[in-house]
Amino acid sequence: MLLITCPFCGPRDESEFACGGEAHIVRPADPAALTDAQWADYLFMRKNVKGVHFERWMHSHGCRRWFNAARDTVTHQFLAFYKMGEQAPDIAPVSYTARPAPRTDPALPADPALHTDREGAR
Amino acid sequence: MGYSLWSLARNARTHHENWPKAWRSPEPKPAYDVVIVGGGGHGLATAYYLAKEHGIANVAVLERGWLGGGNAGRNTTVVRSNYLRDESAALYEMSLKLFEGLSAELNYNVMLSQRGLYMLCHNAHEVQDAHRRAHAMRLNGIDSVFVPRADLARHIPIIETSPHIRYPVLGALLQRRGGVARHDAVAWGFARAADARGVDIVQNCEVIGLRREGARVTGVETTRGTIGAKKVALVAAGHSSVLADMAGLRLPVRSMALQALVSEPVKPVLNCVINSMTVHVYVSQSDKGELVMGAGMDKFHSYGQRGSVSVVEDQVAALLELFPVLGRLRMLRQWAGIVDVCPDASPIVCKAPIAGLYVNCGWGTGGFKATPGSGFVFAHTIAREEPHPLVQRYSLDRFAGGDLVDEHAASGIAH
Ligand SMILES: Cc1cc2nc3c(=O)[nH]c(=O)nc-3n(C[C@H](O)[C@H](O)[C@H](O)COP(=O)(O)OP(=O)(O)OC[C@H]3O[C@@H](n4cnc5c(N)ncnc54)[C@H](O)[C@@H]3O)c2cc1C
Ligand SMILES: [Zn+2]
């Protein structure tokens, strides 16, 4: 269960909120001028970031107002809450992609624990 | 080596200590005809059918963790083909048919148990929809029958059929050929059979970048060095967007944490699979006696393979609403997998708009049942450079064309 800070009401339980997905998607000023592919990009294509994700939340069982948040999609940790219309805070992206590491011992067996830890314990 | 009663007897003599490894773990070669990214069920099935149906065996399956450590080994193993639309019905039915012959095909017992799957209806709308779906399925040659409430108590003795609960059970859509299969066995069976045909399965090998020459993808960068490839196929389920991003390709999928849990083992109480979209739980009983249940999903994007406790709470509440008799049952463990959900709850299987790149994703909450079928059609798409007829409509283009295949109702999970 997440503790979410509504910019209007303060910290509340996750169950009071609805998540609205990726933030800062601007509706095209002149939809009729777009190609089908551009319109599909606006409607459907998403960043789906692994790392810091800027997203919309709504305090649906509270003040019913929308706001934005920055959250790490691996740890689920919130990094910022800010109001609609405000500039996204400057938060350095986090990369969860492994770095190329020369394997010292290729005969080493796969270690499942290593992998679960990498995502689970951060 | 083939598995048989004879090999079992022979190995019993040496206390089962001399079974050969089911697949090799070779060092990756410098280059392959096809590199498949993702060693889940779909990636392994793709490799198998590439080798078997298309004679392309110079193939590597690269897996960043261990084989079957993703959704292939985390799902709740339900197989079925009770879809409404013709395209979906054809695709999932083909896959179910492959499932029906899979143990023999792979010489590996995938423990398919077609014990019947009930999708419960709790209001007039769901009853109408179930009838519509039952007719549509029969028109597509797929077994289906509507079971009225009066008969349900006979089919499923432990279900609560009181008309006084919040969402009374009014009937169910039954597919008798639906059921469960052993998920690990499907992944291992395809791995072993692909390996036997010459496919290299490389675990602990994460793809961290794509190599390009001009407009063409020519290989992958991995944690075990650069590997060249004439064709690169992305089959990474919940991580599809991360890989597509390496190619500058945008996908319509969202990665979500879908959860499941199992109870302590108990005596047989449930001999079928039950799914309720409204009360929101699905459940079956494993051969070991554990009740396996799922349906809950965290409501936010997630790449953290855990899932929240609040979802477990909802899940268990739903279970007790339908089966009050299970009130004393204790839960053993809980887990989550990252599923790739498409806006229309249908998959994407196609050539990417980048030369040399192929994408198979978006199976979301229901891709286990599609494992053999997905591999079969994707292998065709890769080998022939054109979509298999069954996935003609499942391209990335359908989003620009507005030609979505809405299967939310058949997904079995509210999202
Ligand atoms: C809890 C739960 C219950 C489910 N229940 C059902 C069910 O009852 N019935 C049903 O039909 N479906 C079910 N599903 C859905 C089904 O499990 C998936 O749709 C299906 O398994 C996805 O295909 P896959 O097996 O290839 O995925 P995966 O096994 O997830 O394979 C993808 C692989 O790609 C690897 N990978 C990712 N990034 C990289 C990289 N950069 N380099 C190399 N490898 C990489 C991952 O490690 C992973 O092993 C369920 C899913 C979950 C999570
Ligand atoms: Zn509020």
Dist. CA A2–CA A96, nearest whole Å: 22
Do the beta carbons of residue B311 and residue B296 sit within 8 Å? yes
Q: Is the dihedral angle over the CA atoms B272, B277, B278, B280 positive or is it negative?
A: positive
| Any atom of ligand 1 within 6 Å of the Cβ of B74 | yes
The residue assigned the tokens 């099935």 is B45
Taking CA atoms, B341 is separated from A13, A46, B66, B414, in Å, by 26, 11, 23, 11
DSSP B113: B
| Residue A71 at interface with chain B, using a CB cutoff of 8 Å | yes
Q: How far is CA B293 from the centre of its chain?
A: 15
Q: Name the CATH superfamily for B113-179+255-339.
A: D-Amino Acid Oxidase, subunit A, domain 2 (3.30.9.10)
> Which whole-number Å values give the CA distances from B8 to B14, B110, B135, B183, B193, in the listed order?
10, 17, 46, 22, 18
Sign of the dihedral through C-alpha B368, B287, B69, B21: negative
Beta bridge partners of A54: A70
Q: Look at chain A and count its residues.
A: 122
CB contact under 8 A, B301 and A55: yes
Residue B225, sorted as left (phi over 0), alpha (psi -120 to 50) or beta, turns out to be: left
Question: pLDDT tens for residues B72-82?
Answer: 999 999 999 99
CB-based contacts of B151-157 (< 8 A; 24+ apart in sequence) = B152/B118, B155/B118, B155/B272, B156/B118, B156/B270, B156/B272, B156/B274
Domain residues of chain A, as ranges?
A: 1-30+41-88
Give me the pLDDT at residue B412, please.
Answer: 73
- Averaged over B233-237, what is the pLDDT? 98
Which atom of ligand 1 sits closest to the CA of residue B259? 1
Q: What's the rounded Cα separation, in Å, for the pair B168 and B134?
A: 21
What's the mean pLDDT in A33-50? 97
**Is the CB of B365 within 6 Å of ligand 1?**
yes
Give B208's contacts in chain A (Cβ within 8 Å). 97-100
How far is the C-alpha of B270 from the C-alpha of B273, rounded, in Å?
8
Residue from B44, B49, B67, B75 whose mutation best tests the ligand 1 pocket (most atoms within 8 A of CB): B75
| Per-residue pLDDT, A101 | 64
Q: Which ligand is nearest to the CA of B298?
A: 1
Looking at every residue in chain B, the average pLDDT score rounds to 95
User: What backbone phi and psi angles, to 5 degrees, belong to B89?
Assistant: -55, -45
Alpha carbon dihedral B128, B131, B136, B139, in 10-degree steps, equals: -150
Smallest Cβ distance to B208: which of A47, A98, A120? A98
Pick from B223, B245, B252: CB nearest A44: B252
The minimum CA-CA distance between A55 and chain B, rounded to whole Å, is: 9
How far is A22 from A68, CA to CA, in rounded Å? 9
pLDDT digits (tens, 9 = 90+) for B10-45: 999 999 999 999 999 999 999 999 999 999 999 999
- B303–A21 CB contact, under 8 Å: no
Q: Please report which confidence band the pLDDT of residue A104 belongs to, taking 50, 70 and 90 as the band edges.
A: low
What band does B409 get if pLDDT is binned at 50, 70 and 90? confident
Selecting from A14, A41, A48 the residue whose C-beta is nearest the C-beta of B253 gives A48
Would the CB of B70 count as within 6 Å of ligand 1? yes
Portions of chain B given CATH number 3.50.50.60: 26-77+184-253+344-411
Residue A102 has pLDDT above 70, yes or no: no
Residue A117 pLDDT grade (very low, low, confident, very high; cuts 50, 70, 90): very low
**Are B123 and B170 in contact, with CB atoms under 8 Å apart?**
yes
Å from CA of B139 to ligand 2 middle: 50
Instruction: Give the separation between CA B137 and CA B135, rounded to whole angstroms.
Output: 5
User: pLDDT tens for residues A60-70?
Assistant: 999 999 999 99
For B349, what's the count of Cα atoms within 13 Å in the CB-facing half-sphere?
32
Q: Which of B147, B14, B7, B142 is nearest to B86 (CA)?
A: B142
What DSSP string runs through B41-65? Answer: HHHHHHHHHHHHHH----EEEE-SS
Kindly tell me if the per-residue pLDDT of A103 is higher than 90: no
Asked if A48's CB is within 8 angstroms of B299's CB, the reply is no
pLDDT at B222: 97
pLDDT score for A111: 46
Chain A residues lying within 8 Å of B399, measured CB to CB: 40, 43-45
First CA to last CA distance, chain A: 17
Interval between CA B195 and ligand 2 midpoint (Å) = 56
CB contacts < 8 A, A to B, total: 112
Task: Tell me, using a 6 A CB cutoff, whether residue B32 lines ligand 1.
Answer: no
For residues B36 and B179, give the distance between their C-alpha atoms in angstroms, rounded to a whole number: 29
From residue B300, alpha-carbon distances to A9, A18, B195, B256 in Å are 20, 8, 38, 7
Q: Mean per-residue pLDDT for B340-369?
A: 97
For the ranges A8-22, B26-40, B295-309, the lowest mean pLDDT is seen at: B295-309
Checking if the pLDDT of B308 tops 70, the result is: yes
Q: In this structure, which CATH number among 3.50.50.60, 3.30.420.40, 3.30.930.10, 1.10.3720.10 belongs to the domain B26-77+184-253+344-411?
A: 3.50.50.60
Assess A50–B contact: CB distance below 8 Å, yes or no.
yes
DSSP states of B248-262: T--B--EEEEEEEEE
The answer to whether the CB atoms of A110 and B66 lie below 8 A apart is yes
Task: Please compute the mean of the pLDDT values over residues B264-268 and round it to a whole number.
Answer: 97
Listed residues: CB within 5 A of ion ligand 2: A 6, 8-9, 59, 62-63
Q: Which of B225, B242, B306 lies at the smallest CB-CB distance from A50? A: B242
Fold topology of A1-30+41-88: Folate-binding fold (3.30.2270)
Which pLDDT tens digit goes with each residue over B53-65? 999 999 999 999 9
CA dihedral A58, A61, A63, A66 (to 10 degrees): 10
Burial class (CB in 10 A: 0-12, 13-18, 19+), A87: exposed
CA proximity to B387, closest of B379, A77, B95 = B379
CA distance B244 to B359: 8
Of A97-111, B25-39, B140-154, B274-288, the one with minimum mean pLDDT is: A97-111
Q: What is the pLDDT of residues B193-220, one digit of tens each?
A: 999 999 999 999 999 999 999 999 999 9
Whether the pLDDT of residue B360 is over 50: the answer is yes
The stretches of B108-214 forming alpha helices (DSSP H) are 124-139, 149-155, 183-196
b/e per residue, A35-61, with b = 16+ CB within 10 A?
eeeebbbeebbbbbbbbbbbbbbbbee
Measured in angstroms, how far is the CA atom of residue A6 from the centroid of ligand 2? 5
Q: Which pLDDT value is given to residue B357? A: 98
Residues of A within 8 A of B27 (CB-CB) are 106
Kindly give the distance from the C-alpha atom of residue A4 to the centroid of ligand 2, in angstroms, as a whole number.
10
Which pLDDT tens digit goes with each residue over B215-228? Answer: 999 999 999 999 99
Bridge partners, B361 (sequence order): B348
CA nearest A81: which of A93, A95, A91? A91
Query: Rounded to a whole number, what is the distance in Å from the CA of A65 to chain B's nearest CA?
Result: 17
Selection from B300, B308, B257, B297 nearest residue A20 by Cα: B300
The encoded tokens of residue B75 equal: 């799902």
Q: CATH 3.30.9.10 in chain B, residues?
A: 113-179+255-339
- DSSP category for residue B363: B
pLDDT of A100: 79
Q: Quote the pTM value.
A: 0.95
Cα B354 to its chain centre, rounded Å, is: 26
Please give, one letter per residue, the 3-state secondary structure of A39-89: HHHHHCCECCCCCEEEEEEECCCCCCCEEEEEEECCCCCEEEEEECCCCCC
Residue B356 in tokens: 């040399």
| Res. B1 pLDDT band, cuts 50 70 90 | confident
Closest listed residue to residue B260, CA positions, set B245, B279, B282, B287:
B282
B259 lines ligand 1 (CB under 6 A): yes
Can you give the pLDDT at residue B196? 97
Which ligand has the nearest atom to the CA of A12?
2
- Given pLDDT bands bounded at 50, 70 and 90, which one contains residue B100? very high
Average pLDDT over residues A68-79: 97
pLDDT digits (tens, 9 = 90+) for B138-186: 999 999 999 999 999 999 999 999 999 999 999 999 999 999 999 999 9
